[in-house]
Amino acid sequence: MATMTLSELKADIDGIIRVSTTKFILPILMLFYLKHAIRTGNRVVPNSLVRSGYGETVCNLIKDHLHHNFNIGGQFNDTYISRLSSRHRFLRQVDQRTFAVQDDYAENAEILKDFLISRITARLDLRLGNLIILTRIMENDPELENKDVYERQLNEALQDKSSKRFRNFLEVGFDKKAKGFLALSYGFEVCMFSILKVFLAKFGCKLYRDSRTYAADKGGDISTNFGVVYQIKNYYLREET
C-alpha cells in the first residue's frame, strides 16, 4: 500500500470529520488510537481496550478543549473499529480482534493528534457556536467577546411580538445553503420540532425529541405525551396561491 504524505493524511481526516453527522464517533476513535500509539509506542491495539479508551477520550476532549458536551460522544459500537479499516485506511487488521494504526498515520501521530483536536473543535464551534454564546450570555460570562452586541440581539428577538425574527431563524434552518449550526446537520429536524411543539402546545400537548434515527435515515423521531410518534422523512417547501 502506497504511503500517504502528511497533507494527504490531513485531507483524509478532514473528509471523515466533514461527513460525520453522528457525534463524531470515528474522529474520536482516531484520536484515541493516535494517543495510545504516542503514549505506549505500540501501534497495535486490542479491541478490548478500545471501548474504555473511547469513553476516556470523549471526557478529556470535553474537559480540556471543548468546555461543552454538545453533539460529542455517541454510543460506542464495535463495528466502528472495522469501519476505520474497511472504509478508511486508518487501521489495518492484525487478527480477528486486533487492529493496528497504519504506519504513515503512526509516524505522524503527534502532528495528526493536534490536527484532529483542532478540526473537531472548529467543526463543533461552527455547528453549535450560537448555542455556546447563548449559554455564556446566560451565565453572564465576563470574558465573552462582543457580549453587549449578543445581548442586544437576544433581547430584540425575545421582545419581537410579531415573531418575525423567530420565523427568519426557522427559514435559515430550512435553507441547505445557509450558514450556521441549524443548516449543517440537524436543521430540518430542529425546525420541525420547534414548529410542532409551538403548534401543539396550543392544545395542551407536549413534544419530546427522541433522536434515535440513524444518520442515513435522514429522519427525526418525535414522541408526545398523548401516544403519537412523528417520524419526519422528507420535506418540500412551496408556495400555494
Q: In this structure, is residue 141 part of a structural domain?
A: no
Radius of gyration of the chain (CA): 21
Which among 71, 105, 127 is the end of a domain? 127
pTM of the model: 0.67
- pLDDT of the chain, 241 residues: tens digit per residue: 568 899 999 999 999 998 886 678 899 999 999 999 999 999 999 898 999 999 999 999 988 888 777 668 777 888 889 889 988 889 999 988 899 999 999 999 999 999 999 999 888 877 766 667 777 777 888 878 888 877 877 777 677 777 777 677 666 666 666 655 444 445 666 667 777 777 777 788 888 766 554 555 544 567 777 776 666 655 555 555 4
Q: Domain total for the chain?
A: 2
Residues 21, 117 share a domain: yes
Q: In this structure, is residue 228 part of a structural domain?
A: yes
The bridge status of strand 91-95 relative to strand 229-232 is unpaired
Residues 78, 17 share a domain: yes
Which among 93, 112, 127 is the end of a domain? 127
Residues 180, 90 share a domain: no
Q: In this structure, is residue 223 part of a structural domain?
A: yes
What is the span of the domain harbouring residue 81?
6-127
Residues 179, 121 share a domain: no
